[in-house]
């Protein structure tokens, strides 16, 4: 499930964007009459944006990044239909097949979600 409308590498950061239309499946029933993007979906947006950071990572070539942890997750404001979510992520360190990253999602410059996350680079066996 690809969520992002666009993503690009800008220096050492991944910059992504998604506009919430109101037709997304994850808004159904969350909440009736008051649609709000679920927090887990906001975290997935950050994770997908982080994948852009792996494009120049030789060790990541041909690997599938698997989420291994989320830490220090904070939700600061709701994301609603009509909002355009701007994402900025960066790799903070690498250790073997693991990549550690931090990301922020914001709407109109106001932070809606912030998280630290890690990924394992898994090659087919």
Nearest to 76 by CA among 28, 50, 110: 110
Q: Which residues of 102-124 are buried (b: 16+ CB within 10 A; e: fewer)?
A: bbbbbbeeeebbbbebbbebeee
Indicate the helix (H) or strand (E) that contains 17.
strand 13-19
Residue among 5, 6, 30, 84 flagged as catalytic: 30
Please confirm, yes or no, whether 30 is among the known catalytic residues: yes
Instruction: Kindly report the number of other CB atoms within 10 A of residue 54's CB atom.
Output: 20
Name the residues annotated as catalytic: 30
């Amino acid at each position: 499930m690809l969520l992002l409308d666009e993503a690009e590498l800008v220096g050492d950061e991944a910059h992504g964007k998604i506009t919430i239309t109101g037709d997304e499946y994850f808004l159904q029933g969350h909440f009736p009459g008051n649609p709000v993007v679920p927090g887990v979906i906001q975290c997935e947006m950050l994770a997908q944006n982080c994948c852009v950071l792996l494009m120049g990572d030789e060790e990541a070539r041909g690997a599938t990044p698997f989420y291994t942890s989320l830490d220090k997750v904070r939700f600061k404001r709701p994301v609603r239909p009509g909002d355009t979510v701007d994402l900025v992520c960066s790799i903070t360190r690498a250790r073997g097949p693991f990549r550690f990253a931090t990301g922020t999602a914001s709407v109109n410059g106001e932070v809606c979600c912030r998280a630290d996350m890690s990924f394992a680079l898994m090659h087919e066996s």
